[in-house]
């Protein structure tokens, strides 16, 4: 593989907006000329905008993935398996359980060296993104998930801080005939997963509970992991107007080895290898999280609407051993090579919604407020004792940090003409971050401090029902993204304390789109968008698991998304999703360079036969463009296309079902980078994707 040359800058950037507008006009004209027949798919309902509507009528790019249909031939290891067909979204599997998936939407979140940033994640109404904007996906149990909704574009700002996009996961309600099921999956690289689930309706109660146990040796050396997940949802119909839902979740990650990234030379020589420093320091992570939530919903009667209240709380404990050499830790200001984080978080959301019809024109209103709080105890230790490496040594950092946000919001949908609907929203987002330093030793000063961020986030969308089969829309919005506690944790100059000089990013979003539904030709969604951001938070340097950040002068994202899907009788399904994204720095020394970690193009094609019983099969192609690894654009992970295939069989009898499948991915055995670590200071940018892999699974379900 040749080392990529320095990419050239766009030769005529001024021509691209004109081409973009011309392409949009041509696309909308073609859609308008098509048949005016709408199919039943236009009634697919989404709730990601807090108001239940057909996705067809929402002025936003929104995708709904029903997991009972799309997850039958997968390992169900992580949520990214279900997101590959969403235009504008990239979910890169690092093959590293110590760092979680790398998820980005329209380029937001691509800088994350671990966890999820710039994208809000919500599971059954409970934020998996903390008030500071740091999120994670490791507690999502795919055995219990029923559907996922992905909201992109300006409407995402309705969720406040760090809403470059929103991923909403909904668990199975368990309603209906009581059942029990179990399944086992095994595959390449020592993958074993055992899962069980039970649920059903019992009078006024609905129950769904699941548990899974995962073990993997990992594709690369030093990447073994173990994980246990449990999830439960209990619904109670208190009376005709009131429902209560209890939500519980637990995840335990007792072992997750961290193989770190590879340099280009290491990546090309042995993609399954590991840098020796990872094994010397035994880089690894442990994590345990438990959370619970209670949601109450009450219909007030008449035209007074509905009130919904949510309370949640949890705790998360994380320990991470990093590959930081002992020499730098001799500096009295160095925080050490072991991170211990104990976090407690809680929050509440209260909102009222009502549907009215003043003057015979439908009007829906939502008003509410959310409060989220996070308290963490962060400690740093040396990662050695004497000459023994990879063990917890002397204390070098000890602080308590808090992040608290309080956000009132309001939304309205007004159908002011039979074929015109106005969507409007406003959110006031406010976050206070404070740190109390307990490690004041020798030259290490008291680094206590606090900072407050706030922004007013308006959203405005207009939908035109051009015909029963066609919707045209335009949406504007303002985004806001604060630094996370992890992004504030390290100053660029190596000094102690939080980097409180880091500023929040503010962005302006615009989107034009069209949605077309036809019984004979399927569903087609198209969107053109542009996002301009000031003071975007970008990676300055990443080394040894520690990353520092800076504010760029500005960035611009401009792109197009196209998604098509079709279902035929007999269980045949086809899907296509294409993304083009130009993400560039604007101003400063990096002006005109591409944002690292962002793919300029992506394509997913799939064809599947999935009848209720009998033989099943599927074929899938995923392609990704060339991804820069640093701000200098001096190196890149090459673009690639990977092919996967599956085959399965289902038997069904009176009250029972048996299913089995076999799946293979990367059929050509290509050597590619699955993800990159942006601006990694040691040049270890590349995280290899597996070569050819295979998995097989069986499951059974019994209804009572």
The dihedral through the CA atoms of 238, 241, 242, 245 has a sign that is positive
Domains annotated for the chain, with CATH where assigned, are: 15-693 (2.40.170.20)
Residue-by-residue DSSP string for 380-393: EE-SEETTEESS--
Give the pLDDT of residue 540. 81
Interacting residues of 223 by C-beta distance below 8 A, sequence separation 6+: 95, 96, 97, 216, 217, 257, 258, 259, 274
Give the pLDDT of residue 5. 40
Is the pLDDT score of 642 beyond 60? yes
- Across the chain, what does the average pLDDT equal? 90
Give the pLDDT of residue 313. 97
- Determine contact, residues 397/391, Cβ cutoff 8 Å: no
Determine the Cα–Cα distance for residues 222 and 225; give it in Å rounded to an integer.
9
Is the pLDDT score of 20 beyond 80? no
Q: What does the block give as tokens for 367?
A: 């008003």
What is the mean pLDDT of the segment spanning 178-190? 95
Give the pLDDT of residue 544. 54
Give the pLDDT of residue 44. 79
First CA to last CA distance, the chain: 57
Owner of token pair 């939304």:
411
- Determine contact, residues 51/411, Cβ cutoff 8 Å: yes
Is the pLDDT score of 24 beyond 60? no
- Determine contact, residues 119/108, Cβ cutoff 8 Å: yes
- Determine contact, residues 181/195, Cβ cutoff 8 Å: no
The pLDDT tens digits of the residues spanning 559-579 come to 999 999 999 988 899 999 999
The pLDDT tens digits of the residues spanning 350-377 come to 999 999 999 899 999 999 999 999 999 9
Is the pLDDT score of 217 beyond 80? yes
What is the mean pLDDT of the segment spanning 195-211? 95
The DSSP letter of residue 638 is P
The DSSP letter of residue 499 is -
The pLDDT tens digits of the residues spanning 483-527 come to 988 888 888 776 777 888 899 999 999 999 999 999 889 999 999
Residue 36's pLDDT band (cuts 50, 70, 90)? very low
What is the mean pLDDT of the segment spanning 294-308? 93
Cα of 286 vs its chain's centroid, Å: 21
Give the pLDDT of residue 100. 81
Interacting residues of 651 by C-beta distance below 8 A, sequence separation 6+: 613, 657, 658, 659
Cα of 79 vs its chain's centroid, Å: 8
- Determine contact, residues 261/234, Cβ cutoff 8 Å: no
Angle formed at CA 540 by CA 538 and CA 543, multiple of 5 degrees: 125
- Determine contact, residues 154/510, Cβ cutoff 8 Å: yes
- Determine contact, residues 292/313, Cβ cutoff 8 Å: yes
- Determine contact, residues 313/294, Cβ cutoff 8 Å: no
Interacting residues of 31 by C-beta distance below 8 A, sequence separation 6+: 470, 514, 516, 524, 526
Owner of token pair 């040594």:
393
- Determine contact, residues 645/661, Cβ cutoff 8 Å: no
The pLDDT tens digits of the residues spanning 435-444 come to 999 999 988 8
Residue 315's pLDDT band (cuts 50, 70, 90)? very high
Give the pLDDT of residue 69. 60
Helix, coil or strand: residue 154: helix
What is the mean pLDDT of the segment spanning 465-494? 90
Q: Residue 122: which H helix or E strand, with range?
A: strand 120-123
What is the mean pLDDT of the segment spanning 660-682? 93
The pLDDT tens digits of the residues spanning 647-669 come to 999 999 999 999 999 999 999 99
- Determine contact, residues 118/156, Cβ cutoff 8 Å: no
Give the pLDDT of residue 688. 95
Paired sense of beta strands 546-551 and 537-543, if any: antiparallel
Give the pLDDT of residue 681. 84
Is the pLDDT score of 8 beyond 50? no
What is the mean pLDDT of the segment spanning 458-481? 96
Residue 397's pLDDT band (cuts 50, 70, 90)? very high
Q: What does the block give as tokens for 80?
A: 């990214």
Give the pLDDT of residue 17. 46
Tell me the percentage of the chain whose pLDDT exceeds 90.
72
* Residue in 353, 345, 354 with CA at minimum distance from that of residue 311: 345
Give the pLDDT of residue 143. 84
- Determine contact, residues 373/348, Cβ cutoff 8 Å: no
- Look up the pTM and report it: 0.91
Largest Cα span, the chain: 80
- Determine contact, residues 580/42, Cβ cutoff 8 Å: no
Helix, coil or strand: residue 553: coil
What is the mean pLDDT of the segment spanning 293-300? 96
Least confident of 51-60, 180-189, 241-250: 51-60
CB atoms within 10 A of CB 612: 9
The DSSP letter of residue 280 is H
The pLDDT tens digits of the residues spanning 220-258 come to 999 999 999 999 999 999 999 999 999 999 999 998 999
The pLDDT tens digits of the residues spanning 316-350 come to 999 999 999 998 888 888 889 999 999 999 999 99
- The region that residue 493 occupies, defined by phi over 0 for left and psi between -120 and 50 for alpha, beta otherwise, is alpha
Q: What are the DSSP E strand ranges found in 176-241?
A: 179-187, 191-202, 205-216, 225-239
Tell me the percentage of the chain whose pLDDT exceeds 70.
93
Determine the Cα–Cα distance for residues 136 and 117; give it in Å rounded to an integer.
8
Q: What does the block give as tokens for 247?
A: 């939500």
What is the mean pLDDT of the segment spanning 382-394? 95
């Amino acid at each position: 593989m040749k080392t990529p040359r320095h990419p050239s800058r766009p030769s005529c950037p001024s021509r691209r907006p004109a081409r973009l507008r011309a392409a949009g006009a041509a696309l909308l004209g073609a859609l308008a000329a098509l048949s005016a027949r709408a199919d039943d798919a236009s009634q697919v309902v989404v709730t990601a905008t807090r108001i239940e509507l057909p996705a067809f009528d929402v002025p936003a790019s929104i995708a709904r993935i029903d997991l009972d249909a799309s997850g039958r031939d997968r390992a169900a290891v992580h949520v990214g398996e279900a997101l590959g067909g969403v235009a504008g979204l990239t979910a890169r599997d690092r093959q590293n359980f110590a760092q979680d998936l790398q998820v980005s939407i329209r380029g937001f979140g691509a800088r994350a060296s671990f966890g999820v940033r710039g994208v809000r994640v919500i599971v059954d109404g409970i934020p998996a993104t903390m008030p500071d904007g740091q999120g994670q996906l490791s507690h999502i149990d795919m055995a219990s998930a029923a559907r996922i909704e992905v909201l992109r574009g300006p409407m995402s700002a309705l969720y406040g801080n760090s809403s470059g996009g929103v991923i909403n996961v909904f668990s199975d309600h368990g309603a209906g005939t009581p059942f029990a099921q179990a399944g086992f999956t095994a595959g390449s690289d020592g993958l074993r997963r055992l899962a069980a689930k039970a649920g059903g309706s019992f009078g006024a109660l609905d129950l769904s509970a699941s548990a899974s146990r995962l073990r993997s040796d990992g594709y690369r050396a030093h990447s073994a992991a173990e994980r246990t997940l449990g999830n439960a949802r209990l619904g109670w119909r208190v009376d005709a107007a009131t429902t209560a839902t209890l939500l519980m979740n637990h995840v335990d990650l007792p072992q997750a080895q961290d193989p770190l990234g590879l340099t280009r030379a290491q990546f090309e020589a042995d993609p399954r290898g590991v840098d020796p420093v990872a094994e010397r320091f035994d880089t690894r992570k442990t994590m345990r999280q438990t959370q619970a939530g209670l949601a109450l919903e009450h219909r007030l009667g008449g035209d007074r609407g509905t009130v919904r209240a949510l309370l949640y709380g949890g705790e998360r404990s994380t320990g991470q051993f990093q590959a930081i050499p002992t020499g730098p830790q001799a500096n009295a200001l160095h925080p050490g090579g072991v991170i211990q984080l104990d976090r407690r978080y809680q929050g509440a959301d209260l909102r009222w919604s009502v549907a009215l019809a003043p003057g015979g024109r439908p009007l829906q209103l939502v008003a509410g407020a959310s409060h989220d709080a996070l308290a963490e105890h962060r400690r740093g230790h040396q990662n050695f004792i004497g000459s023994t490496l990879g063990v917890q040594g002397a204390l070098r950092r000890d602080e308590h940090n808090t992040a608290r946000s309080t956000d009132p919001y309001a939304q309205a949908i007004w159908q002011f003409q039979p074929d015109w609907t106005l969507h409007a929203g406003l959110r006031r987002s406010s976050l206070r971050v404070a740190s109390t330093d307990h490690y004041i030793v020798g030259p290490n000063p008291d680094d206590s401090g606090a900072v407050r961020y706030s922004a007013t986030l308006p959203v405005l969308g207009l939908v035109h029902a051009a015909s029963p089969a066609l919707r045209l829309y335009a949406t504007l919005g303002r985004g806001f993204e604060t630094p996370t506690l992890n992004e504030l944790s390290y100053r660029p100059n190596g000094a102690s304390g939080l980097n409180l000089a880091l500023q929040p990013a503010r962005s302006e979003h615009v989107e034009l789109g069209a949605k077309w539904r036809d019984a004979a030709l399927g569903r087609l969604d198209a969107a053109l968008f542009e996002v301009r951001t000031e003071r975007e938070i970008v990676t300055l340097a990443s080394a040894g698991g520690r990353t520092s950040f800076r504010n760029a002068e500005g960035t611009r994202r401009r792109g197009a998304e196209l998604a098509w899907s079709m279902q035929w009788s007999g269980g045949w399904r086809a899907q296509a999703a294409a993304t083009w994204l130009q993400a560039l720095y604007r101003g400063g020394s990096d002006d005109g360079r591409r944002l690292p970690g962002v793919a300029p193009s992506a394509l997913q094609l799939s064809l599947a036969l999935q009848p209720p019983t009998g033989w099943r099969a599927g074929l899938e192609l995923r392609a990704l463009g060339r991804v820069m690894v640093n701000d200098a654009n001096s190196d890149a992970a090459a673009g690639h296309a990977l092919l996967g295939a599956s085959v399965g069989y289902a038997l069904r009898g009176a009250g029972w079902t048996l299913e089995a499948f076999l799946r293979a991915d990367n059929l050509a055995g290509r050597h590619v980078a699955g993800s990159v670590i942006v601006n990694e200071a040691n040049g270890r940018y590349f995280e290899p994707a597996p070569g050819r892999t295979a998995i097989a699974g069986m499951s059974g379900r019994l209804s009572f």
